[in-house]
Amino acid sequence: MAKAAGHRDREEPLEDSCRGLLLPGERKSVEPMAAGLHPERVQAARQSLHHRVAKAPWSDEAVLAAVRAQVLPARRRRQPVVAWIVDETAIPKKGRHSVGVARQYCGQLGKPENGQVAVTLSVASWQVSLPVAWRLYLVREWAEDRARRKKAGVPEEVKFQTKPEIARDQIRPALASDLSRGGGVGRCRLRLGHALSRKPERVGLALGGGRAEHDQRVGSGDGAAAG
């Protein structure tokens, strides 16, 4: 997976970042991860981790693709993919400087709270799911604040999109890829998470029979979906 970072000198920092996220403790910022991973050279490790997070260019899509290439074939040997799941993931935050942070609904807490939200597309068997696309939702107040964008390094090409629009942009390339074609004869469902399922027609895809269903058939899968 580290090779997907695009350059050899980014491999170790990416490996350290992944290992650091698995360390015990609630704080997953650079300083505690550096101390836990390399207690003998904390300062150098902190600088390396910070550079990867704040400065080094790398593609999250390439890393996700590398994970998918490694994990999905192994999972499909055990169970077929029966659904694609579009959902949102909330990340509670205390401060206001993280990109996209705002007071918005947090599923972990069951109420509006300060945090970030990501829209995800995952493929799922009956037992496990694997994220194949992940996009941070940039609330309008962030998208239209040039000073905050510049300070946080938000690329110019990133514009405000609603969550269903983000989901649509994740689903379309997935449909065009080998992800939508499996060895089975059934068809794979698109399952919309709670927030998106309230108006699934806004995703704008696979509206079978002229109206949106909570589960939409979106392409050939590895096995027949129930229902």
State the pLDDT at residue 196.
53
Q: Which string of DSSP letters, residue by residue, matches 188-224?
A: EEEEE-HHHHTSGGGG-S--GGGS--SEEEEEE-SSP
CA 141 to chain centre: 21
Strand partners, 131: 122
* H-assigned helices in 110-179: 140-143, 146-152, 163-176
User: Are the C-beta atoms of residues 20 and 28 closer than 8 Å to each other?
Assistant: yes
Instruction: Tell me the whole-structure pTM to 2 decimals.
Output: 0.72
User: Are the C-beta atoms of residues 84 and 174 closer than 8 Å to each other?
Assistant: yes
pLDDT value at 209 more than 50: no
Express each pLDDT in 153-176 by its tens digit.
Answer: 888 999 999 988 898 888 888 888
CA distance 88 to 45: 32
State the pLDDT at residue 225.
32
Express each pLDDT in 13-46 by its tens digit.
Answer: 888 888 888 888 877 888 889 989 999 999 998 8
SS3 227: coil
State the pLDDT at residue 60.
82
User: Are the C-beta atoms of residues 60 and 52 closer than 8 Å to each other?
Assistant: no
- The rounded mean pLDDT for the chain is 76
pLDDT value at 206 more than 50: no
